[in-house]
Copies of this chain bind each other. A is one copy, B any other.
Amino acid sequence: MDILVIGSVALDSVETPFGRKEGVLGGSATYFSTAASYFAAVKLVAVVGEDFPTEHRQFLGDRNIDLSGLQTRPGETFRWKGRYGYDLNEAHTLETHLNVFETFHPEVPEGYHDSPFVFLANIDPELQLEVLKQVDKPRLIACDTMNFWIDGKREALINTLGHVDILIINEAEVRQLADEANLVKAARMILAHGPKTLVVKRGEYGVLVFGEHSIFSAPAYPLEEVFDPTGAGDTFAGGFMGYLAATNNLSDEAVRKATVFGSVMASFTVEDFSLDRLRSLCWEEIEDRFRKFQALTDFGGLD
């Protein structure tokens, strides 16, 4: 099954204790698409400026990502500059230049309207709703958001949540959105707004998935070298949605496996700057790491 993703394509400048990169490929939709492309066909709706390098377009095309929904507008591409300290858990944003992204209005191309799987990356919840008006009853809609929208556009966000099957956000956002410190209670409150599944990203602590009748916990892969955490969450979402779309299975069991595949993809992304680790990643490595997640979590049964 195909996946339609709407989000940002950006040029990032990133500084970590291990090095610094200027103007490298970034953006939520970019990380998502690249990860998802290992599992399913992806259609990307986003905007870039006239400065967007051909090589990046080439890279995404080579991954079989359909770029007919990637608008090019006069002006510069969205640019983000951030720094990570030694703990690597928190990005300190140094500069944000929205550029052409500031006036972005997603236009879903004619042939994309029947996309069965839709991922709304972290953009204005009003734009997320605009997208949903342009598609015909997808089989699955997932979305992301951030503190900025929870704080500034709560009503629009809650409205969007009413149309979404899976919400994928981080732990602090869960607590902020529900205004509740206890994660289990907060999850229930969010599920009451519409989503059937809440995926809680906890960085180096892994992922908790709350369904209607079940909770699933997946660890993050313990890595000796984390180079650049940028895009880990969107890569997770890409692997997660990719697996669901590939199997066209939305059972609780499939969601669990999808969570592990998402975690596998995220664990690779952070091993190098930008999307560089994914440039060389092959399917055998993905399966191998899936098995390592099994070895990491297996404890057998009661005797």
| A residues apposed to B, CB below 8 Å | 86-88, 181-185, 202, 204-206, 208, 214-219, 222-226, 247, 253, 256-257, 259-260, 287, 290-291, 293-303
A254 vs chain B, min Cβ distance (A): 10
Copies of this protein, total: 2
Q: In the complex, A296→B184 CA distance in Å?
A: 13
Task: Find A287's partner among B182, B290, B299, B302 (CB 8 Å cutoff).
Answer: B302
CB within 8 A of A217: which of B208, B247, B253, B296? B296
Name A224's contact: one of B182, B206, B300 (CB within 8 Å).
B182
Q: How far is the CB of A173 from chain B (nearest CB, A)?
A: 15
CA distance A254 to B127 in the complex (A): 52
Which residues of chain B are within 8 angstroms of A297 by Cβ–Cβ distance?
A: 216-218, 297, 299
User: Pick the contact of A205 from B88, B202, B225, B293 — CB < 8 Å?
Assistant: B202
Given contacts A182-B226, A219-B219, A222-B208, are A299 and B87 in contact (CB under 8 A)? no
- A302 interface neighbour in B204, B205, B219, B290, Cβ under 8 Å: B290
Q: How many Å lie between the Cα of A257 and that of B299 in the bound state? A: 6
Does more than half of chain A's interface fall in helix, strand or loop, or is it mixed? mixed
Given A205-B205, A214-B295; A222-B183 close (CB under 8 Å): yes
Pairs A-B, 9 closest by C-beta atoms: A217-B219, A256-B299, A205-B205, A184-B224, A86-B181, A184-B222, A217-B296, A260-B299, A297-B297
Contact between chains at B299 and A224 (CB < 8 Å)? no
Known: A202-B205, A256-B300. 13 other contacts (CB 8 A): A183-B204, A184-B222, A184-B224, A206-B217, A208-B222, A216-B299, A217-B297, A253-B300, A256-B298, A256-B299, A259-B299, A287-B302, A297-B297
- Complex CA–CA separation, A259 to B298 (angstroms): 11
